[in-house]
Structure 1
Amino acid sequence: MPASWILLIIIALSVIGYFIAKQRALASGGGDRRVLHSLPKYYGTNAALAAAAPALLILGIWMILQPVVIDSIISSNLPEAVQADRGERSLAMADVQRIADGLDTAVSRGAMTADEAVDIRVGASNVRERLAEVGVALGSEVDANTLQMAQEYRALTSTGNIWRAIAVLVVALGGLAIAYMMTHKDFRARNSVERAILSLLIAAACVAILTTVGIVFSLIFNTHDFFSRYPAEDFFFGTRWEPSFSGRGGASDLGFLPLIWGTLFISLIALLVAVPLGLFSAIYLSEYASKPVRSIVKPLLEMLAGIPTIVYGLFALLTVGPLLLDVFGRDGVLGVNWMSGGTAAMTAGLVMGIMLIPFVSSLSDDIINAVPQAMRDGSFGLGATQSETLRQVILPAALPGIVGAILLAASRAIGETMIVVLGAGAAASLSLNPFEAMTTVTAKIVSQLTGDGEFNSPETLVAFALGMTLFVITLALNIVALWIVRRYREQYE
């Protein structure tokens, strides 16, 4: 039974449980809700939660663990040489899963029966041709061992799905039955519901923490694998980035310095654009703009944050790049040869700066508005003008928060990808010329993981080392920014 069907059944049982538990509670009180310990809705909610929460928990855990267990069982049939190499093992299991999915598709579309999917053999009936009949394409030839493992994978998955449906539905029905029997006028349903809601809130809070921990450990393990294959000193202090996927690391230069230089250089250009424009916009909106103007301009300014970054990238590629080339190119207005192509650090930096304006503006506006009005009134009472009050009172008081906003915008700039990919080019360079093509850490992560590369070579695993390094840098910036903002808030609260 598909997981979606199980989910719909659980929802139906929860709805049914809500109404029958509510009616049972009212019936136990003789129809008088005043004799009930809790409101009738709490009795219904308690039954709905009893039916849904444990069942959904088991369903989620089962869906996570089942593929892991089946993968472990099936991969034990692989040759020892393939099992020893994690990359080869991953590719082999991907082939097995693709063929198993193809068999399921063929059965569901009626191209073959379930018995044929189990009995089909290489040679007796060509697997590729049979699956091609239902539009399933295989990227490689199918050998007898891979087909057998795919059939075993499909069988284990089918069996696991059956037991999953049985276990989840039994738990849902059991929880509903227990909640129904516990429902009577003296049952403290409200307390039970509040405890359950508290547990759900704690679980929701833990999801973010566990997700972060999972991401970090994933990066750590793959980064360790990379450094076991490639020298750390060559990575951190290398000045050349020239990966060669045919060399298996031996003919590759994977220096980190050109990438981090391009990242910081483009981010600096973006901040030089975003900080003045964003800060001046925040000052105008908070201190000078009337309420009608502010109510229109502020939402329009914040709309820039909702534009997808791919749109900014296309804007950089098709508009800003050619415009800069017309001005700074050999045949441009100035007649100089500073820029030879539309993709350059300046192109990406300018567009990224436009994207960051609402980050700086919105945060700075909130911080300036948080400065106590008494400080403004005191300055005006001493005879200062509005501009003098702004320069000598408001901005110094808001400066820690503004610095925090700038650092948060910087961490956002460092992690940007699509604008760089489309606007800055792909050259790993240590140049100081902003009109030359450059690249960043995020752009190279995309390029190293794009295509059919195997996860058993330094040229592919380097993406995780780049991601881990970038994670540490942005985490440090965020920690500093949050520390500054908290210190500022404590000063005026």
Structure 2
Amino acid sequence: MSVSLLLLCLSIVGASVFVLGRTRAAALSGGRSSAMHSRLGYYGAYAAIWATLPALALIAAWLWISPQVIDRLVVKSFPDEVKALPAAELNLSYGMVRSIAHGMRLLDDRQRAAVGDGTADLQLILAQKGVPLATRPTGYMIDAANSYNGMRHLSRVVMSAAAIALSLGCGIFGLRAIAPRFRARNRVEQVILGGLIVASSIAVLTTVGIVASMLSEAARFFGMVPAAEFFFGTVWDPRFAGAGSQASGTFGLVPLLAGTLYIGLVAMLVAVPIGLFAAIYMAEYASARLRSVAKPMLEVLAGIPTIVYGFFALVTVGPFLRDLSADLNGLVTGNYASFIEAQSVLTAGFVMGVMLIPYVSSLSDDIITAVPRSLRDGSLGLGATRSETVKRVLLPAALPGIVGALLMTASRAIGETMIVVLAAGVAARMQLDPFEPMTTVTVKIVNQLTGDLEFTSPQTLVAFALGITLFCLTLCLNVYALYIVRRYREQYE
């Protein structure tokens, strides 16, 4: 039985036990709900939890332990001369066995019989099934593959039987525990609380794991390249080393960090005025009907994939700015050479700013509408116009929250990759001309990890140093933004 079908069976058992538990509780209550400690649904939920959670735990443990046991048993069945091979060759042989086993499961009975009789070429048949083999399989590999499939099938059958039996047994136990004064609600809420704790722990542990993996690899990089050379270097030239080459290159962070901040600044110069003015209009001037239509349409921009924005910049915005600059240059000087490159800081910053407009608009709109109504009414009651109220009352009151929203938006701009790859180029250099290409930290992370590479050289390990630097930068922005927002909430709520 497949895992998905087994989970479906457990769901059916759990639903059935829920109905039986609720029915049993209703029968014990005698029609008076006050006779029971908890609502009837809690008793059904308690029984359903017993019918599903232990079985799910058994399935998870089985799926984790069973493959390891099968792997060891299959390797033990290899001939002695194969088991004496080095670990790399032994792993390669076992990989062949697993590929053969996977391909054998795709064959029908006639093809399996032909392979067993030796009248069919197993390598050719598996290639036709989409399972190519590097070499022709030997006899012990085919026997090991058949043994692997047999143990795998037996493991699934035993797991399914054990899980269903455990589900039924625990379900009966949960049903028998139902009594008028049984605290079913407390037990169910304890399980829910445990699930919430597990979910939050997974999120925290995932973050810790990501940071720890980045720090460990970054430490290896700084063991090869001095930290001062990385953080204060002004030249980025990694020079990927070829086979047998000892070239280490130059890893200067400053050009990449300058490009990241420069493009982010241009994006914020585009997004902040448009997004903030749109938020003011939606919050204070637009009618309810217009707001219900315009606000969702504006926020659709946030759902567009960034690769689409990159194509838009590469195909439309970049050529438009290049041709426009050529026409302007021709009108002024008679020389129709363009002074704006198709891939430039301006192109990437403009398109990224368009992408960030809904972030600024939505966050600012929520903050402005959260300002107490009494401040608006007091200003209007004293004779101020709506525009004066916005300028002298609402914006000063909402300013801390708006600043926090802008900082969070800036961290989103700093972490953008695809728009910069397609619209700003990959040239790592320091310059102030917004019409020339530059690159960012995220682009170089992609470049350093592209291809079939091993994480043993500074050319690849530098990506982790760049990643942890970018992580610290965005983390500081987010922490500062949350600090400002919390101060705002404490002051005006």
| TM-score, with structure 1 as normaliser | 0.83
- Report the equivalent of 1:314: 311
Q: Counterpart of 1:175 in structure 2: which amino acid?
A: C
Partner of 2:412: 412
Whether the aligned pair in 1 keeps the contact of 2:309 and 2:355 (CA below 8 Å) is: yes
- Paired residue type of 1:405: A
- The offset of 1:470, in angstroms, is 1.2
Q: 8 Å contact 1:107–1:113 — kept in the other structure?
A: no
Q: CA RMSD in A?
A: 3.8
Of 220, 227, 230, the match for 2:222: 227
Q: 1:38 to 1:125 in 2, by over 3 A?
A: same
The whole-number CA distance in structure 2 between the counterparts of 1:97 and 1:159 is: 21
**Which deviations, in whole Å up to 9, do the C-alpha atoms of 1:426-470 show, x marking residues without a partner?**
222222222222222222222333332223333233322222221
Aligned partners of 2:360 and 2:405 also within 8 Å: yes
Range with greater deviation from structure 2 (366-375 or 245-254)? 245-254
1:390 matched to 2:385? no
* C-alpha displacement of 1:347: 1.4
Structure-2 residue corresponding to 1:203? 198
User: Any gaps of 5 or more consecutive residues in structure 2?
Assistant: 77-82
Deviates more, 1:156-165 or 1:12-21: 156-165
Deviation at 1:392, TM superposition (A): 2.3
State the secondary structure of the residue aligned to 2:211: helix
Partner residue in 1 for 2:80: none
Give the letter aligned to residue 273 of structure 1.
V
Please say if 1:291 is aligned against 2:260.
Answer: no
* 1:85 paired residue number: none
1:180 maps to amino acid: L
1:363 shift after superposition: 0.8
**SS in structure 2 of the partner of residue 228 of structure 1:** helix
Structure 2 matches for 1:158-169, cutoff 5 A?
164-165=159-160, 168-169=163-164
Write out aligned runs for 1:424-439 (5 A). 424-439=424-439
Q: Provide the rounded CA distance (Å) in 2 between the counterparts of 1:460 and 1:186.
A: 64
Q: Which moved more, 1:282-291 or 1:161-170?
A: 161-170
Q: Note the alpha carbon deviations across 1:139-165, whole angstroms, 9 max, x for none.
A: x66898x96999598788667656654
What do residues 329-376 of structure 1 show as CA deviations (whole Å, max 9, x unaligned)? Answer: 489766354234x22222111111001001111111111122223223
CA contact (8 A) 2:55 2:164 kept: yes
Indicate yes or no: 2:464 matched with 1:464.
yes
Cα separation, 1, equivalents of 2:144 and 2:227: 40
Is residue 100 from structure 1 mapped to residue 91 from structure 2 by the alignment?
Answer: no
Do residues 244 (structure 1) and 246 (structure 2) align? no
Residue 476 (structure 2) aligns with: 476
SS at match of 1:109: coil
**Identical residues among aligned pairs (%):** 47
- Per the alignment, in what secondary structure is the counterpart of residue 246 of structure 1? coil
Match of 2:207 among 208, 212, 215: 212
Residue 269 to residue 109, structure 1, CA distance change in 2 (3 Å): farther
Q: Sort the Cα spacing of 1:246 and 1:148 in 2 relative to 1 into closer, same or farther, 3 A.
A: farther
Cα gap change, 1:156/1:265 in structure 2, threshold over 3 Å: closer, same or farther? Answer: farther
CA displacement at 1:40 relative to structure 2? 2.8
- What is the rounded CA distance, in whole Å, between the counterparts of 1:255 and 1:154 in structure 2? 53
Name the CA distance, whole Å, in 1 between partners of 2:215 and 2:70.
Answer: 25
Matched residue, 1:6? 6
Find the counterpart in structure 2 of residue 338 from structure 1: 339
Q: 1:263 aligns with which of 260, 264, 276?
A: 260
1:135 has 2:130 as partner: yes
| 3-state SS in 2 of match to 1:223 | helix
Distance 1:48 1:328, change over 3 A: same
Q: 2: distance between equivalents of 1:75 and 1:458?
A: 37
Counterpart CA distance in 1 for 2:307 and 2:125 is 40
Shift of the 333–251 alpha-carbon distance from structure 1 to 2, 3 Å rule, reads same
Q: Do 1:326 and 1:333's aligned partners in 2 also have CA atoms closer than 8 Å?
A: no
How far did 1:295 drift?
2.1
Please tell me the residue identity of whatever aligns with 2:304.
I
TM (norm. structure 2) is 0.83
Alpha-carbon distance, 1:58 to partner: 4.2
> Does the 8 Å CA contact 2:301/2:355 hold for their aligned counterparts?
yes
Which amino acid in the other structure matches residue 316 of structure 2?
Answer: T
Whether 1:110 aligns to 2:105 is no
Structure 1 spans left out of the alignment, 5+ residues = 83-88
- Cα gap change, 1:30 to 1:368, in 2 (>3 Å): closer
In the alignment, the residues of structure 1 paired with residue 136 and residue 455 of structure 2 have an alpha-carbon distance, to the nearest angstrom, of 22
* Structure 1 Cα separation of the partners of residues 306 and 412 of structure 2: 12
Q: Does 1:254 align with 2:228?
A: no
User: Hey, what's the Cα distance between the residues in 2 that align with 1:487 and 1:384?
Assistant: 28
Q: Counterparts in 2 of 1:170-181, with a 5 A limit?
A: 170-181=165-176
Pairing 1:187–2:182 present: yes
Residues 174-204 of structure 1 show CA distances to partners (whole Å, capped at 9, x for unaligned) of 4213212212334332222222222222222
**Within 2, Cα distance between the matches of 1:150 and 1:309?**
48
Partners of 1:482 and 1:71 lie apart in 2 by 49
Which position in structure 2 is the counterpart of 1:273?
Answer: 270
Local SS of the residue matching 1:438: coil
Distance in structure 1 (CA, Å) of the matches to 2:61 and 2:303: 35
Matched AA of 1:325: R
CA distance in 1, matches of 2:395, 2:143: 68
Contact 1:313 1:423 in 2 (8 A): yes
1:219-241, CA deviations, whole angstroms, 9 ceiling, x for partnerless residues?
22232333334443333333213
> Which structure: larger Rg?
2
Aligned length, in residue pairs: 480
